[in-house]
A and B are shown apart, each in its own frame.
Chain A
Amino acid sequence: MKSKWSLTTVLFILALLSVALAPSTGTGLAGSLPAYAWGMTGDTDLDPVEIIDRVDRLLRGDSSHARLEMTVVTEHWKRSLEMEIWSKGTDKALINILAPKKEEGTATLKVGRDIWNYLPKIDRTIRVPSSMMASSWMGSHFTNDDLVKDSLLAEDYDVEIVFDGIRDPEDGPVWELKLIPKPEAPVVWGSILIQVRQDDLMPIWGRYYDEDEVLKRTLTFHDFKTMGGRLVPSRLRLEPADEPDEYTEMVYHELTFEIDISDRKFSLSQLRR
C-alpha cells in the first residue's frame, strides 16, 4: 500500500537522486492519472492514499540523469559542489562530483541499502557502515540515510488530509497531508507534514517532526519548470530546524528521464572513472 509518506520521501530522495523529480511532475502525472483523479480540487473526496499511490507508481522504474549544483551553508563555511547524478529505479544511483577541483572525481554509489564513497586523492573506495547512516552526506544537511531510503518506506506511514483549501493564492488549492508512522514501521520521523498543490500535485514543502512533535527540518520546493519533458521543482532547499542560519540547496541545471543506462554503470569499478 502506498502512503503519502512515500510521496514525500520519494520526492525528496528522488529529487536528491534526480529520480524523484521526474515522477512528481505535473505533466507526467496528468497523463497517467485517471480522469476522475486529475484536475480534482479540494471539493472532491479523494483518498489520500490514492494520490500517493499514483505518484508512487510514477516514481518507479524510472531512470534519469541530472546535473546540479549543491550549495551547503553552515555556521562555519559555505561551499558549492557541481555534480552529476545517474539513477535507475529507486535503488541504484551514482553521483559524481565535477567541481570544485579539490573534490573532482569524488563519487558516491548507492545500490540497495549500501553506499560507497570513492575518493580520488587516495584512490580508495570506502563503504559507509550502517552506524554512519545518520551522518551527513558530503557535508550537506542530508544524511546517508536519506540516500538509501527508497519508496518501500511508503508502506510505513498512515496518511491523512489535514488541510484542504487555499493557503497562498499563488499556489492555488493545496492539500496538507499528515503522515504518521505505523506502529511497527522502522522509521526515524515521528510525523511528516507535506503540502501539495492540487492542480498539478507539485509538492511545496515537507516538514519533518521527531517523536515529540518537534520540527527537525524543512524541505521546500521551488522554481517549478519543465525539464526532461516534465514539470519539476528545479530548486530544493533543506533547512535544519536547530540551525536557523544553515541550509543545503540543490539547483538542477539539466535533467533527462527514461534514458538507457546499463546496470554496469552502478558497479564499484565504475566508481573510479
Chain B
Amino acid sequence: MLVVKLGWRNLWRNTRRSLITIAAVATAFFFLILLVGMTMGLKDQLLANGTSLMLGHVQLHHPDYLPDRGLYDTLGGRDGVDPALSGQLEEAFPHIQAAAPRVYGFALLSTGEHSAGAQLIGVDPENEPRVTTFLDTLHTGQPLSPQAEGGILLGEGLAEELKAEMGGEVAALTQAADGSLGNTLFIVRGILRSGLSHVDKTLAVVHFNDLQDLLVLPGERIHEIVLSLDDPMQADALRSRLNADSALPAQVEAASWGDLSPQLRDYLAMFESSYGFVIGLIAIFAALGILNTMLMAVFERSREIGTVTSLGMLPEQVLFSILAESFFLSLMGVAAGLGIGGWAMSHLSTSGLDLSRWMGEMSLMSTRMDPVVRFQWNWEMTFWAGFTLVAASVLAAAVPAFRAARLDPVKAMAAAKGV
C-alpha cells in the first residue's frame, strides 16, 4: 500500500510535467475513441447501405437458382412453396423482422420504336418496403398498388432509354414457362431514382402476381424470399440455423448477405482488422511519452532514491512505486480522454459528422454513402484501447523503474551531490 501511496504522491511533485503527460495520453485515447467511433459508424452505414437497398440480410432460393436466375428454379422446385412461408418464418425466428417474396423474369420492354432488355422484378408492394428501400426511391409517380393491376415502376435510366412516360404503356415480351411468347402491357406508375446509375438503368418493378401471369408461373412459384433482421450481424448464424434445422421446405436454401456479397463481407472485415493496428501504433506513442517522463523523474530523484534505499527501502518497493506512478499517470490520461471522447461522441453519434464538405457525394462498394457519418460506440474496442494504453505505459515505465531499483545508494547520493 505504501508503494501505491508513494507513487501517487510522487506524481504531484512535478505537477506541470505530470499534467502534460496526462494530457498527451488523454489526447491519444481521445483520438482512439473517435477513430473507433468513426470506423464503427462507417461500417454500420456501409452494411446498412449495402443490404437495405435490395439485398436484404438473408435470402432464400432454390439451391440452383443463383447465379443464373433460371426461370424454372423456383423455391421448392416444380411444386412451389406455401405462400404463407414468409409469414411463418417471421413468427418462428425472432431475429427476422420482415420477409418479402420476389419473382424475377427477363423481358424485352418496349414502347414501340424504343426497346430494351430488362430484368423484371416482381415484388409484393406491401411487404417489400419492410425489407428493402428501393421502392422508396420513387422519384415521381405513385407506388405500386397492393393488388396486381398492371402497373410498372421504371428506373430513371431505363425510362429514359425507353422514352417511357408516366401513365404511358410499356409492352413486355418474354419467354414464358410453358414455352409460349408471354406478352402484356404495363402502365408506367412511377420512376425510381436510387442514385446508382447501374441500378437505375436496369430496374423494372412490377407486382409479383403480374409477373407470374406474364411468365405463366402459378401463384405458389416464386424465386426468392428476402428477409430483414433486427441485427444484420446475426445473418450468418440465422442462415446456418435455417439450413440445418429443416426449418425450410425441400429445395429451399438460405444465404446471408455475406454469402451473397462476399465483397461487402471482406470490406467490413478489413475495417475491423485495422483497429488493432491503429490502437497498437497510438499505444506505442503514448508509451514513449511515459517513458520519457519516468526517465526524467527517476533521474531527478536519484539522490532521494539512494537515500530511501540506504534507509532500508527494498528495491522492489522502489520498482513498484515507480510502476504505480506510471500506472496512475496513464490511467488519469485514459480517464480524461474518455471524458472528452464521451462528450465528443455524444455529439457525433447523434448529429453525425458531415464529410460532404471534404468528399462530396460518396459511393463505396457501388452503394451510395450518406456523407454524414454517425459515430458509434464500440465498448469492447474502447476498453481494449484503454487497457492497451495503460499496459503499454506501465511496461514503458519498467525500464526506468528497474534502473532505479538497482541504484547503488552510495553512488546515487554521491552523483546527486555533484549535480
Q: Which residues of A contact B (CB under 8 A)?
A: 72, 74, 76-79, 102-103, 106, 117, 119, 121-122, 124-129, 131-132, 135-136, 138-139
Contacts and interface: CB of A to CB of B under 8 A. Distances in A.
20 contacts: A72-B179, A76-B179, A102-B180, A103-B180, A119-B173, A121-B183, A122-B184, A127-B113, A128-B108, A128-B115, A129-B115, A129-B116, A129-B117, A131-B117, A132-B117, A135-B108, A135-B117, A136-B175, A139-B180, A139-B181
A129 to B, nearest CB: 4
Contacts of A136: 175
Contacts, number: 64
Leading 6 A-B pairs by shortest Cβ distance: A77-B179, A126-B110, A124-B171, A119-B183, A129-B115, A79-B179
A79 B114 CA distance: 30
A120 to B, nearest CB: 9
Interface in B313-372: none
B185 A78 contact: no
Contacts of A119: 171, 173, 181, 183
B112 A126 contact: yes
Interface residues of B, number: 21
Contacts of B6: none
B178 interface: yes
Interface string B363-406: 00000000000000000000000000000000000000000000
Contacts of B178: 77, 79
Contacts of A126: 108, 110, 112, 115, 171, 173
Contact of B179 (A74, A117, A125, A132): A74
B110 to A, nearest CB: 4
Name which of B169, B177, B179 has the most chain A CB atoms within 10 A of its CB.
Answer: B179
Given A102-B180, A127-B112, A135-B108, 4 more contacts: A124-B112, A124-B185, A132-B108, A139-B180
Nearest to A120: B183
Interface in B101-118: 108, 110, 112-117
B117 A78 contact: no
Contacts of B110: 124, 126-127
B275 interface: no
B72 interface: yes
Nearest to B170: A124
Contacts of A138: 181
Nearest to B71: A76
Contacts of A122: 171, 183-185
Nearest to B184: A122
A126 B182 CA distance: 13
A132 B185 CA distance: 19
Contacts of B72: 76
Name which of A74, A76, A103 has the most chain B CB atoms within 10 A of its CB.
Answer: A76
A79 B180 contact: yes
